[in-house]
Amino acid sequence: MLNAMALLCLLTAAPQSPALAGRWAGGFRQGDQFVSIEVQVEDIGESNELSALVTLPERGLRLPARVAQDGRRVTWVVDGDSEPRARFGGELNERTLRGRIEGAAIKGPVACDLVRVVPWSKEHRARYRGRYRTDAGATVDIVLVPRQSGDTLGVELPAAGLRSVLFPVSATEAVAGDGECPLPIAARVVFELGAAGRVDGVAVEAKGQRWVARRQPDADGEALPSPPHPVVAPGLGVERRVVSIDAGDVQLAATLYIPPGVERPCPAVVQLHGSSPTRRRMQWSYYTSICLRMGLAVLAFDKRGCGESTGAFRAFTVAGSAKLFDQLASDGAAAHTWLRQQPEIDPERVGLVGGSQAGWIMPLVAEKTPDVGFIVSGCGCTVSAGEEDQHAAWLREGLSLAAADRRLESYDGPRGFDPRPVLRRSKTPTLWLFGERDDVIPTRACLIELEKLRAEGHLLHDGHVFADADHNYRTSGDGVLLEPVITAWLRQRGILR
């Protein structure tokens, strides 16, 4: 069994002067963006000279480069008018090329890591893509990753917390790093072929463990396709625009993400925050990525006082909750107003999405700006800040969920911000997503309030409960998929077409 470090050592073991010719893939980071790079190096005749073509797939650039190799030391340069557009210098091993890149178009020097790849054909991608399952019930999904330069594959293994792009190193093997990054290598994926090249299974080595999963057939014996939620990560066909939004007393540092292949003008959401000090890069792992996969553009911003946004971050307290939420709602309203004015966006299909604390804030945003098209609230509260805070405190003290729920029925303490009047005034279609065993918000009390709203005729509030799920939608199994529930609701409302 190989752990990630041993695998990296294996891949980097090499002769004294490994050959450079071949195809390399990877990239580098610029702020919150990952810039994908592919480099094709070729020998020129018998003179041992090298030439290279550097491709930035998501930017549509194909640039010739001058290449030099001195043992393991490699440099390549993309010339510019007065100075190089890009200059790379790094260390070559058999399957990795690691170094730093800088130039007129790059805020550097920054780390740039590449892996030697053997690109898979369309037929390879079609054969490998699908759902696999271990004897213990863990799922391994090999999913399609759409890219402007040609689709690739990604791997999702919830049991290992693995969700990454695959870099093929042979006809049946691939390595994966962190998200879209190839290095350091976090996992190795090997496909097992049976008779006539049929794909029987896949082995995944990650975090010192090994999973062997079998292909899952459907009722007709055909391989099940992978679920319709491809990995979307920065740099993989997603268009982005970094902007600054005036929110009165603060400037919000934000990025507008537009997924590949959507018809414009497209629907969009503003991503709101939970209670923690949140930067937009941190939001990629969940709601932002979910929305991009569904075909929604996303405006994500650094919470005030966090990252590159100005102002001061304020922590949640029950006593200060009403003032805090009003302030954060003003930020959300400014972001929503800006988003509706963008030419790529359909102003009639712009909503809000967020989790936890955002459930209190988003209805306030809709009161501050009149054109919020919809709200998707993940584990948000329909009860007061004081009720939520006390319920969570009882759980931390060791009360069971059922006992805390019962005690909350007679709670008569401080309430802080209470969303009930706002929700009764709301004219915005809202989808409330709850986890059955949420240990942060009181799901049972929230559902009771939601039922009261609907009984009173406030039918724009819809709810969905995920069985066995906690505040982060984790379950005792593989977790839950939010996309099918949200997609169906947005289609019913005419947001997705």
Kindly report, residue by residue over 240-276, the tens digit of the pLDDT. Answer: 899 999 999 999 999 999 988 788 999 999 999 988 8
Give the whole-angstrom CA distance, residue 71 versus residue 466: 57
Cβ neighbours of residue 249 closer than 8 Å, sequence gap 6 or more: 311
Residues in the chain: 497
- Which amino acid, one-letter code, is at 376? V
Give the whole-angstrom CA distance, residue 439 versus residue 472: 10
Tokens found for residue 350: 């712009």
What distances in angstroms separate CA 224 from CA 135, 141, 199, one per listed residue?
A: 17, 10, 12
Which has the closest alpha carbon to 143: 184, 206, 202? 202
DSSP letters for 8-57: HHHHH---SS----EEEEEEEEETTEEEEEEEEEEEETTTTEEEEEEEEG
Give the whole-angstrom CA distance, residue 348 versus residue 204: 44
Residue-wise pLDDT tens digits, 74-95: 999 988 877 888 899 999 987 8
Name the band, by pLDDT with cuts 50, 70 and 90, for residue 212. Answer: very high
Pairing of strands 86-92, 73-78: antiparallel
The predicted pLDDT at position 179 comes to 76
Which has the closest alpha carbon to 280: 232, 312, 322, 243? 243
Per-residue pLDDT at 58 exceeds 80:
no
Residue-wise pLDDT tens digits, 301-313: 999 998 899 999 9
Tokens found for residue 206: 């990650």
Asked which of 31-45, 157-171, 278-292 is least confident by mean pLDDT, the reply is 278-292
CA triplet 346, 351, 357: central angle to 5 degrees?
160
Q: Does an H or E element contain 124, and which?
A: helix 122-128
354 vs 145, more confident: 354
Mean pLDDT of 14-23: 70
The predicted pLDDT at position 44 comes to 67
Cβ neighbours of residue 294 closer than 8 Å, sequence gap 6 or more: 483, 486, 487, 490, 496
Which residues pair with residue 143 across a beta bridge?
A: 154
CA 263 to chain centre: 21
Share of the chain above pLDDT 70, in %: 88
Phi, psi of 180 (to 5 degrees): -95, -5
Give the whole-angstrom CA distance, residue 490 versus residue 497: 9
Name the band, by pLDDT with cuts 50, 70 and 90, for residue 374. Answer: very high
| pTM for this predicted structure | 0.59
Name the band, by pLDDT with cuts 50, 70 and 90, for residue 283. Answer: low
Which has the closest alpha carbon to 350: 336, 364, 361? 336
Which residues pair with residue 188 across a beta bridge?
A: 175, 205
The predicted pLDDT at position 489 comes to 94
Give the whole-angstrom CA distance, residue 252 versus residue 126: 42
CA triplet 112, 113, 114: central angle to 5 degrees?
125
The predicted pLDDT at position 478 comes to 56
